[in-house]
A and B are shown apart, each in its own frame.
Chain A
Amino acid sequence: MVGIVIVSHSETLAKGVVEFCRIMAKNIPIEAAGGLDDGGIGTSFEKIMGAVERAQQGDGVLILMDLGSAVMTTEMVLETLGDDTVHMVDCPLVEGAMEAAILAEGGMDVLAVKAEAESAREVRKINK
């Protein structure tokens, strides 16, 4: 199954998104990589790297990030890993994570899940 990693400046936020995704995706590997190693606010190269390695079951991993250094640090993890089945997803964190988790749970392949999660950007919450 495709694995998912949630990268955030906040440990609580990353864990919260994982908890929220678990409601509808009980079996996928999904890992939180939030905050610094000491729990402070920021993003940690090591935490992200460790989370990606745990989430990788051989079917690829999608990483969803909040902003700024979360994106840049994740980029550096990808360059270091050199694993072309690991991808960053450019989408709203909560909506994209939920979408990705459900589809990964359904057994969809990594690039298809990525494309669907990215389309979460277009979905409106309130229809005008």
Chain B
Amino acid sequence: MTNNAKVVELLKQISDKIDENAQFLTELDAAIGDSDHGINMARGFKKVVEDLPGVAEQDIGAILKKVGMILVSTVGGASGPLYGTAFMKAGGVVSGKMEINADDFLEILEAGIGGVQMRGKAEKGEKTMLDAMLPALDAMKAAGTADTRAMLDAGVAAAKEGVEYTKTIIATKGRASYLGERSIGHQDPGATSFTVILETIAEAY
């Protein structure tokens, strides 16, 4: 069980982890994009942390929706509307809840990833964040919610494999798609940032 105060704490931890990885994420984006993914994500989560006190007392759905709105307004790149939609959709499935369990967490992830698909119209294998997200969700569903530790570990392992897989494929969505064949050999920044976020959640559990 996690309550709203723990979710706020977790968002701060995610923000710190994104900040620590900002340069790495930006370097990944330099290879196949426009060198801003880490900067974008760090700017967005910094603002999230600044604005959290205003919503910290609210239910988890409201907090997640607020995070989504902040990300849309501050991130600036494609990851803004994508992660923004993800958090807004995720908030929608836990509206009014002050506490969530592992089943809720899977629903949050599923709705969030559905939001990314709705917004970006990408599928598996297009070298995007979905290549970490979809396998992670599948692995966690397969692991089941009886053992939350095992579920989270399975998710992180699958997300990491997904990141490795993005090195082997051509980007067909997003800015990297303009590079065609030249995108092979590089891992996707968005898939990497999702893995950082999921790892932070797993470590905090």
Mark A residues whose CB is within 8 Å of B: 36, 40-46, 67-69, 72-73, 75-76
B78 touches A76 (CB 8 A): no
List chain B residues, Cβ under 8 A from A46: 73
Can you list, as one digit per residue, whether each of B86-97 has a CB less than 8 Å from chain A (1) or not (0)?
000000000000
Residue of A nearest to B82 (CB): A72
B40 at interface by CB-CB < 8 Å: yes
Residues of A within 8 A of B38 (CB): none
- Asked if residues A73 and B72 are in contact (CB atoms below 8 Å), the reply is yes
- Jot down 7 A-B pairs with beta carbons below 8 A, ordered by A: A42-B40, A42-B76, A44-B76, A69-B78, A72-B120, A73-B80, A76-B85
Given contacts A45-B80, A46-B73, 15 further A-B contacts (CB under 8 A): A36-B76, A42-B36, A42-B76, A42-B80, A43-B80, A44-B76, A68-B175, A69-B76, A72-B80, A72-B81, A72-B119, A72-B120, A73-B72, A75-B119, A76-B85
The interface of chain B, by Cβ under 8 A from chain A, is: 34, 36, 40, 72-73, 75-82, 84-85, 119-120, 174-175
Query: How many interface contacts (CB-CB < 8 Å) are there between A and B?
Result: 47
Q: Which residue of A lies closest to B68 (CB)?
A: A76
CA of A68 to CA of B77, assembled, Å: 8
In the complex, residue of chain B having the shortest beta-carbon distance to the beta carbon of A72? B81
Closest 8 CB pairs of A and B: A42-B76, A72-B81, A69-B78, A45-B73, A45-B72, A36-B76, A68-B78, A73-B81
CB distance from A17 to the nearest CB of B (A): 19
Give CA–CA (A76, B69) in the complex, Å. 10
Partner of A76, one of B77, B79, B81, B174: B81
Tell me the complex Cα distance, A8–B36, Å: 16
Residue of B whose beta carbon sits closest to that of A69: B78
Contact B76–A43 (Cβ < 8 Å):
yes
Query: What is the bound-complex CA distance between A12 and B34, given in angstroms?
Result: 18
Q: Give every chain A residue within 8 A of B73 (Cβ-Cβ).
A: 44-46
Are the C-beta atoms of B72 and A76 separated by less than 8 Å?
yes
Complex formed: what's the CA distance from A67 to B73 in Å? 17
Q: Verify A40–B81 contact, CB threshold 8 A.
A: no
Whether A68 contacts B174 by the Cβ 8 Å rule is yes
Q: Are A69 and B77 in contact (CB under 8 A)?
A: yes
